[in-house]
Structures are given as C-alpha cells and as structure tokens.
A and B are shown apart, each in its own frame.
Chain A
Amino acid sequence: MSASIFDIGASGRGASAQRPAPGDVSDLPAATLRRAPPRLPEVSELQAVRHYTNLSQRNFSIDNQFYPLGSCTMKYNPRGAHRVASLPGFADRHPLAETSASQGFLACLHELQEVLKAATGMAAVSAAPMAGAQGEFAGIAMIRAYHNARGDTSRREIIVPDAAHGTNPASAVMCGYTAREVPVGADGDVDFEALEAAVGEHTAGIMLTNPSTCGVFERRIAEIADLIHDAGGLLYYDGANLNAILGKARPGDMGFDVLHVNLHKTFATPHGGGGPGSGPVGANERLALFLPTPMATRDGAAFRWVEPADAPDSIGRLSAFAGNAGILLRALAYARMLGRQGMQRVGEFATLNANYLMERLRKEGFELAYPERRASHEFVVTFRHEAKELGISAMDIAKRLLDHGIHAPTTYFPLLVPECFLIEPTETETKEELDAFVAALAQVRDEARTDPESVKTAPHNLPSARLDDVKAARDLRLVHEPD
C-alpha cells in the first residue's frame, strides 16, 4: 500500500494555482452554512500528481498487459477515439444546450444509432442506457410495457439460463419479474427440453447471450425463438458477446425482439477501471415505440431530440441527460475507422484468436469445458483435475499468472463449470502474445506439481501479496481513518 493522500499533506498546504479568488457569500444565512471544513487532502499540486501517477503504476491495464478477461472484451481502446470525444465542441457542450447549437453532436448520435441498427438487424436504437445492465433493465422494461399495452398482465416470469450473467436475473427482478432459471446442457447449449417445460402463459420473455456465456454459439436459437414467440413471450439479447459475431450474424435475424450492445466491449471504448460503460438498446418494429428517451432523430437536414413528450409509449428517461454521451462519440469514431470490412474482421479475428488459443491449450493437456465445440470469441477451461489432485484452485492459478505479467482470465464464471477460467483473447492481440500465455499457463501448472506452495501463496511480484477478502468484509474499513 502507498501512503494515503490524507497522510502526505500538511495543514495549510494546497495547490494554490487551482484556487479562484473567493467570493462574498454574506447574503447566505449563517444557519445554512457549514461549520467546519470537510476533511479533504491538503497537498501541493506536485504531491497530488506524483501520488496518483504512482498509484496508476500499481494497476494492470490493456495498455500494459495482456488482459484476457472473458466476457469483458479487453481489446485495444484507440487513442484517436478518445481524442475526438475530447474536442472542445463536444467536451464543452452543455447537455441542455439549444438544439440549434447542438447539430454536430446530434448528427453523431444519429449516425451511431444507424450504425448499431445495421450491426444488430434492429429497426430502431436508443443510446440512452449508461451500461449493459441499464440496457438490460431498459429491454425488460420494454417487454413489460409491451405486454401491459396489450392488457396481458399475467406474465410474471423472465427465463434465464443458469449460466447467464448475474445482471440478467437482477435486471428481471428490478422490472418486477421473477427470474426462472433453465439449465445449460453438457454441450453448452440451453437444455431445450427443460426450456420447453419452463415456457408457458406465465412467460414474459427470455434473456439469452449468443454466443453464450459458455463461449459457444446457441445452435437451436431459431427453435428457441419460435418456442418463446408461440407462447406469447419475447426474446431479449444480451449483447455482451456481440464482438464474436460482428459482421457475421445479427441478433435481429435470429428472432430477438430487443437487445443491448456493450459499447465498452464490441466498440472498444475504455473500461476506465470499472466504467463508464454504455449499453444502447435496439428493438424490432414491435417494440421500437417503447425505447427509452432521449434519442436523436432527423427532420430533413436538421437533427433534433426525441423527448419523452414525442414518444408517449416510451419507457422514458433513465438518466439525468443523454446517457454516457462522450462514450457514444468514442464508439462512433471507432465504428468509422473500422467500416464495413473492419467490423466483419472483428468477429473473424476474435474467433480465430480464441480457437487458436483453445487448441494450443488443449494440446498442452488442459481440460476444456466444451471440448466438442468451436470456441466463439472465448472459451472455458476447467482446472477441476488440478484442484483435486494438486489442491490448487483456479484462483491460485489466476494469482500466479499475475506474476507472469498477464491479467488473469475471468475466474469461476460461468458458475456451473467447476474451477474454471473464461478466456477471451480478443482480436487485437498478436499470435506471439497468445503463445506467451500458453507458455505461462503451462509453467504455472508445472510449478503446481513441483512447488505447489508458491502457487497457493501467489502473487509474489506485485505491490500486494494475496489480499484477505474475508477480513475486508468482516472488519469494514471503508474510509481512511486518521492516525
């Protein structure tokens, strides 16, 4: 641990170049004022810059390391896209500025909506949701609005596979539904017979990720769509894995009615240490009128906002202003650089890298969770034998990989595969990087046989040794306490 910013200051010190001349506030009643100043850092500008620069160097990031975090699509985030979004005309535009003074931004938003329609096969897109989970909420709220508009209010269940992202059932519950889980079979596809048994007049819809969270394409998707639609339900597409099929297949063609796209995955916007994300939603003709606001629309040559009043059936706004607008600009810049051919190559090379890495690991003797299947853009490896024979967990292996300068893949997800890694190399990594990963993982496994203790106690070369999560939760220390 570095010293806290609160420990390196001194009373009366500050970055005085950043202080405007104070103003007179004698008109404010004394009772409304703060009695004592808040305890904020008291540091010089250099101290602050040095502190946060030093802290940054205690992070792994895409710019520093291979980061094969399954389901998260940690691919290169183009600098050019960041610079475009930071241009003064965009960065300084007030969200409530007059439409006449916002034509540049509205043109960009409208163009992005059109790109996402083309990429997903949907009839209309709203870029309002601020993350994938908010996109899920929006989509399920739209499904609910659709059923309610038809007076069909008895449908109470949203079906989710047991391998689904945790956000899926959580979003369904936030929309007032019960989440009903159906199992995924040994081949990674949804168990169709179990699904048939679960579907009925109580079914409002189903949430599916395709390719799925098991890293395989859901082969019976067309039959699933018919099954759900015949029961009066709707299909929601969780776009977390759109990267795998971009330019190769579209959710709209598979029978999905509504979806979200994670721009911070497929469209390469930065993850920022946990956000911002962005989760635009798309809908087919049936659900388009329920899309959240605001959206951009076009009247001839001029652009304008679709406000709640223009869209009476909309589920309404989900943010104070227009969602994560700056992220939308980055996604548009990326989409423009890719263009038609570039988008198709995303799906192709993400899939090539995943299948190559999967085959290399198979040949090294690692166990695949779905060995008979093609990988999509990611795949699942299980260390259940290592766990049983060597007493080494997937988490131990993950921590030891960190010592090799490789960010660990996603661990223990999907939940139904024991001791697993979900590995997603992405299309922006070289063959050499993938080969180095194979070598590192093989070396960790060899070490687990010869010197298991060094794996169980990893990491050894990082700013912290393994951290005690139990103590963090039991002995809650959520703010810095002065000595």
Chain B
Amino acid sequence: MPFIPHTDEDVAAMLGAIGVDAIESLFDEIPPSLRCGPLDVPVGESEMEVTAALSARASEDESGPCFLGAGAYDHYIPAAVWDICSRGEYMTAYTPYQAEASQGTLQLIHEFQTMMAALTGMEVANASVYDGASALAESVLMAVRANRRTRRRRGAGAGSESATIRVVVAGAVHPHYVETARNIVQSQGIRLEATGFDANGTVDLAGLGQSLAEPPAAVVVQQPNCLGLLEPVDEVVAAAQAAAALVIAVANPVALALLAPPGEWHERGADIVCGDGQPLGIPLSSGGPYFGYICTRREFVRQLPGRIVGLTEDREGRPGYALTLQAREQHIRRGKATSNICTNQGLLVTAATVYMSLLGAAGLRAVATRCHAATRALVAELTSIEGVRERHCGPFFHERVIDVGRDAGDVATQTAAAGVTGGLPLGRWYPELANCLLVCATERRSDADIAAYRDVLRRILARPRGQAAGLASEDDG
C-alpha cells in the first residue's frame, strides 16, 4: 500500500474504536447509487518502475543548445539554489498561517519582497502570484481599483456593458500575457485595447496618443518588449500620466539589474511593476511552476492582491514576521476580496531569493551583460549567413528578431531536428513576421554553441525552400 502505514492490527484496533466492522461501513452516508467500482487506471508500480518509465520519456525531450527565450530563459542555476529549495522544511510546509511555526518562510518572503522592490525601484512587493501572465491580469484589476476615476465608475455601474473600462496595451507586450489578462478580466467590464507597434518594433507613440484621448484606467508597457526591443518608456509614462492613467510595467527581473528600473521612468515612474520571476533560478520546466511578481507604490498597497508579509513584534517585544493586510483576501473578504488568489508560488520564491542572494547586484548585472553580449555575438554570426538579417535597428536587450528570408516555422522545425532549439517562429504571433525568428543567447551559450547554430542554420538555408533535412518534400511548391 504505497505511503499508507497501517498494519492489519492497526486497522482492526481503529475499526474497533470507531465501532464498525469494516472500512466500507465508513462510507455508509454516500448513497449506493453514487458509489463507483475500481477506477479505470493501470495497476500501481514501484518507484523504480515509474522512474524508469518516465526517465525514458524525459530523455526523448533532451535537446542541444537552446536559443529560445520569449518569456522563459535558460539561465545557469547555482547548485545551492535547489539544494536549499529541496529541503523538506521549505518544500513540504504550507502557507504560513501559523506565523510562530513558519518564521523561516515568512522571513524569506520578507527578504524577497525587499529584493523585488529594490530591483524594480518600487516601495512594496507581494509574496508572488502564479506567473508573469497572471501577474499582468492581477495588475490590470489592481490598476482599475487604484485609479480613482475608474473606481468611481465601477462603483456606479459595475458589470454593465455601459460601464466598460479600458486599459491600453502599448507596443509589443507578450501576446500570451495579453491573452491571459483579457481572459481573466473581461467578465468584469474591463477591455484591453492594443495599440500595436510600429515598423521599428516599438510602441507607436502617435497611436498611443490617440488611445489616450479618452483616458483609460491604465497603460501597459513591457521593457524590454516581447521582441527584445527597448521601448521609449519615458515617453510612454509621460503620455499616460498626462492622461491621468496609471502605468503598469512588465519587466524581466534580470534585465532590471542593468536597465533603468520602472520606478524611475520619467521621474515619477510606473505605478505597478509586474513580470515573471523565472529568470531568477527557476528551471524552464515546460513553462512552470514559475512565479509572477507584483510591486507597487506604498499608496496602493491595500489594492495589491495575494499574500504580503510584514515585520512585527512578538509578545515579548522581539521582531518577527507575519502575513499582513489579510482583510484584502478571499479567506476573510470572500466575494469582496481583491482577488480569488489563495496561494503564492512559495517554493519558486524560495529559489529566487536564494538565487538573488548568491548573485547580488554585481552578479545579476554580470548575468545580464553576459547574456546581452552573447546575443549580440549570436546575431552577428547568424546574419553573416547570406539572406539573414536583423529585422529591427533599435536598441535591444538579450533577445533579437532575425529575418531568415523564408517560413521561420519550417526553419525552427529543421533546427530542432538538427538538435538546436533555434528560437521562436514569430508568424504564430504576428503574421507579418512569418519569416522571422526571435532568438536569445543566455550566459550558458558558449561561442561553440553559437558557431554550431550558425552552421546548422547555414546548411538549412542552403537547401531549396520547403525541403526538410535530407528528405525532399512531396508537396514542395
């Protein structure tokens, strides 16, 4: 009986104490018509057998160097990070409701909040939400609550069609983030309105100006944007503030070791900063578990969703930590809570906190600059191939769009067959970029990896179009 410790003697003694003959009797309140027979699943296996079977599947997915980013980055993770996270005291604890029995997790989260506030240039942070996309959704809801103008309108006619509240998405914000946010907020009378990006791949400031003619609740801008380009964030913040809209910044935390923090954009800065913490010591792991972070100004702290840890005192006057501002949360406020969110992503926050402690500001900056230099080297090598060019000319950080002159989806499939994860074919997001790959080189990519990718790409592009590796396609047109 996997993981069940009862001996036959235990069971007999326990049934005797309860006063029933059989375990089955304990289910006598379930109507017989609702009982089920054995589940239609295979018989159990030992840990050894399961490990062997799933290891075989895992090895199917092993591949060569990864040049794909697009919101999830293949950074080096120091050994100490997951050694510490795998300690049962972190991994098998629950939400720190009993503060006195959870000082480890609580202090760690408080240190995490401090680090995230420092990175983003904001005053406060929460204990995390699910991921970067859900952090954007929660930030949009938060901005609508925090913006005095929209808060009044919501109070007047929440939910009705006439009370639709707009949030403007400026420039190239990760499409999965926008889609997630839209799916989560749309039932609350909030509409996300994308202004798109111009030929430079960055926010269309004229288009943004038109969108702001009728002031929205907030403007969302991502830095660097999802095409790797640096947005004119000072201009975006200035325009938003002139329209009395709040600014929600989406930012890569590793980039923030190098780039101006959103809290300092155009003097007053962004109002809410959110993003995905995956670059801070979290494995790629097929997309999760990661964590989303949200930072803000102190004045908006009561609108912040999720867990928050505060420093307080115990009854002997010694400092200690506790969850705080719980009156915002669902377990107290129920239908009037700031969000339905219950958990944070505690284990991933643990990883990020250890990671940031090991790297420090200097180490994190070194990671950022190394990645950027590696990506520049990658772009130089790839564009040395005839017919491959950079799509945009503006400044970028550690991720770049290259035009390969033919369907990039086919090219990515062929690089994968050659053992290289060659980047994201952008046609699935933007049809006009169907010939483009979004490529990224982290600090893990060596010069040899980069040269290998260049050679693979050169071979693929030397073939006639539509011809897969070694096989002439029947329907090649």
Q: Contact at B41–A133, with CB atoms within 8 Å?
A: no
Q: Contacts A25-B258, A69-B94; is A431 near B6 (CB within 8 Å)? A: yes
Whether A84 contacts B30 by the Cβ 8 Å rule is no
Q: Are B324 and A34 in contact (CB under 8 A)?
A: no
Interface window among B143-151, B207-215, B335-343, B449-457: B335-343
Nearest chain B residue, comparing its CB with the CB of A137: B340
User: Are B103 and A320 touching (Cβ within 8 A)?
Assistant: no
Of the candidates A59, A130, A356, the one whose C-beta lies within 8 Å of that of B130 is A130
Contact of B88 among A33, A62, A97, A105 (CB under 8 A): A62
Q: Does B434 contact A (CB under 8 A)?
A: no
Known contacts A338-B2, A469-B322: does B50 contact A84 (CB below 8 Å)? Answer: yes
Q: List 24 A-B contacts (CB under 8 A).
A: A2-B103, A14-B360, A19-B359, A25-B368, A41-B356, A43-B357, A52-B354, A58-B102, A94-B284, A95-B286, A97-B416, A166-B331, A170-B335, A170-B337, A273-B91, A275-B346, A320-B132, A320-B133, A327-B288, A327-B289, A340-B44, A464-B320, A466-B315, A478-B125
B365 contacts A37, C-beta separation under 8 Å: yes
Per-residue contact bits, chain A 37-71, to B (CB 8 Å; 1 contact, 0 not): 11111110100110111011111111110010100
Q: Which A448-469 residues sit within 8 Å CB-CB of chain B?
A: 457, 459, 462-469
Is A239 in the interface zone, CB < 8 Å from B?
no
Q: Is the CB of B44 within 8 A of A336?
A: yes
Q: Given contacts A222-B31, A319-B287, is CB(A61)–CB(B118) below 8 Å? A: no
- The residues in B between 290 and 316 inclusive whose CB is less than 8 angstroms from any CB of A are 290-291, 298, 301, 307-316
- What are the residues of chain A within 8 A of B283 when measuring CB–CB? 86, 91-92, 326
Q: A471 near B313 (CB under 8 angstroms)?
A: yes
Q: Could you tell me if B318 and A276 are in contact, using CB atoms closer than 8 angstroms? A: no
- Stretch in A75-83, A194-202, A226-234, A386-394 with 4+ CB within 8 Å of B: A75-83
- Beta-carbon contact of A253 and B100 below 8 Å: no
Q: Contacts A25-B369, A273-B350 known; A32 to B260 CB distance under 8 Å?
A: yes
A291 CB–B CB distance under 8 Å = no
CA of A11 to CA of B338, assembled, Å:
40
CB pair A402 B100 closer than 8 Å = yes
At the interface, yes or no: A429 with Cβ under 8 Å from chain B?
A: yes
- A107, CB-defined interface residue at 8 Å: yes
Name the residue of chain B whose CB is nearest to the CB of A349.
B4
User: A5 touches which one: B34, B357, B397 (CB < 8 A)?
Assistant: B357
Chain A 210-230, CB-CB to B under 8 Å as 1, else 0, gives: 000000110101100000000
Q: Is the CB of A55 within 8 A of B108?
A: yes
- CB <8 Å contact, B108 and A341: no
- Name which of B45, B58, B123 has the most chain A CB atoms within 10 A of its CB: B58
How many A-B residue pairs have C-beta atoms within 8 angstroms? Tell me. 706
Q: Which of A242-250, A281-289, A439-447 touches B?
A: A242-250
Q: List chain B residues, Cβ under 8 A from A325.
A: 285-289
A311 at the binding interface (Cβ < 8 Å): no
Answer whether residue B383 sits at the interface, using C-beta atoms and an 8 A cutoff.
no
> Given A45-B78, A61-B89, 18 other A-B contacts at CB below 8 A?
A23-B374, A33-B259, A52-B354, A55-B103, A74-B92, A76-B3, A88-B58, A92-B66, A100-B417, A101-B63, A253-B34, A253-B36, A276-B288, A348-B23, A353-B14, A360-B17, A467-B312, A471-B312
Closest to A60 in B: B101
Check if B113 sits within 8 Å of A478, measured CB to CB: yes
Whether a CB of chain A sits under 8 angstroms from the CB of B156 is no
Residue of A nearest to B288 (CB): A324
**Least CB distance, B236 to chain A, in whole angstroms:** 13
The answer to whether residues A459 and B340 also contact, given A39-B118, A87-B54, A91-B284 and a CB cut-off of 8 A, is no
Bound Cα distance A24, B398 (Å): 12
Q: Is the CB of B78 within 8 A of A18?
A: yes
Q: How far is the CA of A197 from the CA of B43 in the complex (A)?
A: 46
Question: B470 interface residue, CB < 8 Å from A?
Answer: no
B399-441: which have CB < 8 Å to A?
412-413, 416-417, 421, 424
Instruction: Decide if B345 is an interface residue (CB 8 Å cutoff).
Output: yes
**A211 CB to nearest B CB, Å:** 9
Docked Cα-Cα span, A292 to B183, in Å, equals: 10
B189 contacts A by Cβ under 8 Å: yes
B14 touches A356 (CB 8 A): yes
Residue among B4, B23, B27 facing the most chain A CB atoms (10 A cut-off): B4
Residues of A within 8 A of B155 (CB): none
Residue picked from A94, A97, A137, most chain B C-beta under 10 Å? A94
Please provide the chain B residues from 1 to 32 with a CB less than 8 Å away from any CB of chain A in the complex: 1-6, 10-11, 13-15, 17-19, 23, 26-31
CB of B23 within 8 A of CB of A352, answer yes
The answer on a CB contact under 8 Å between A63 and B92 is yes
Task: Judge if A121 is at the interface, Cβ distance under 8 Å.
Answer: yes
A297 interface contact, C-beta 8 A: no
Instruction: Check B369 against A22 for contact (C-beta < 8 Å).
Output: yes
**CA distance in complex: A97, B65 (Å):** 12
For B241-274 the 0/1 string (1 means CB < 8 A from A) is 0000000000000001111110010000000000
Among B286, B311, B333, chain A packs the most CB atoms within 10 A around the CB of: B286
A79, B256: Cα distance in complex, Å: 35
* Interface size range on A against B: 35 or more
Is B101 within 8 A of A407, CB to CB? Answer: yes
**Which of A20, A98, A278, A322 is B413 in contact with, Cβ under 8 Å?**
A98
Interface presence of A171 (CB below 8 A): yes
Chain B residue numbers with a CB within 8 Å of A90 are 58, 61, 285-286
Q: Are A272 and B58 in contact (CB under 8 A)?
A: no
Residues 394-413 of A, flagged 1 when their CB comes within 8 A of B and 0 if not, give 00001100100001100001
Stretch of B173-181, B191-199, B384-392, B459-467 at the chain-chain interface: B173-181
Q: How far is the CA of A28 from the CA of B398 in the complex (A)?
A: 11
| A416 within 8 A of partner (CB) | no
Q: In the complex, what residues of A have CB within 8 A of residue B105's CB?
A: 55, 59, 273-274
A373 to B312, CA, bound (A): 42
Of B257, B315, B371, which contacts A465 at CB under 8 A?
A: B315
- How many Å lie between the Cα of A87 and that of B50 in the bound state? 13
B59 lies within 8 A of chain A by Cβ: yes
Write out the residue numbers on chain A whose beta carbons fall within 8 Å of the beta carbon of B276. 320
Contacts of A101 in B (CB 8 A): 61, 63, 416, 421
B332 with A166: CB separation less than 8 A:
yes
A236 to B93, CA, bound (A): 29
Complex contact B358–A45 (CB within 8 A): yes
Cβ B18 vs Cβ A356 within 8 A:
yes
With known contacts A32-B259, A249-B35, A338-B44, A472–B358 Cβ distance under 8 A: no
Q: Report the bound CA distance from A40 to B117 in whole Å.
A: 10
Interface residues of A in 76-134 (CB under 8 A from B): 76-78, 80, 82-98, 100-105, 107-108, 115, 118-119, 121, 130-134
A260 on the interface (CB 8 Å rule)?
no
A369 within 8 A of B: no
Tell me if A118 and B395 are in contact (CB < 8 A): no
Q: In the assembled complex, how far is the CB of residue A185 from the closest CB belonging to chain B, in whole angstroms? A: 15
- CB < 8 Å neighbour of A131 from B70, B89, B93, B342: B342
Q: Any chain A CB within 8 A of the CB of B124? A: yes
Contacts of A102 in B (CB 8 A): 61, 286
Q: Please report the C-alpha to C-alpha distance between residue A75 and residue B92 in the assembled complex, in whole angstroms.
A: 9
CA distance A169 to B353 in the complex (A): 33
Q: Is the CB of B6 within 8 A of A272?
A: no
Kindly state the separation between the CA atoms of A90 and B117 in the bound complex, as whole angstroms: 32
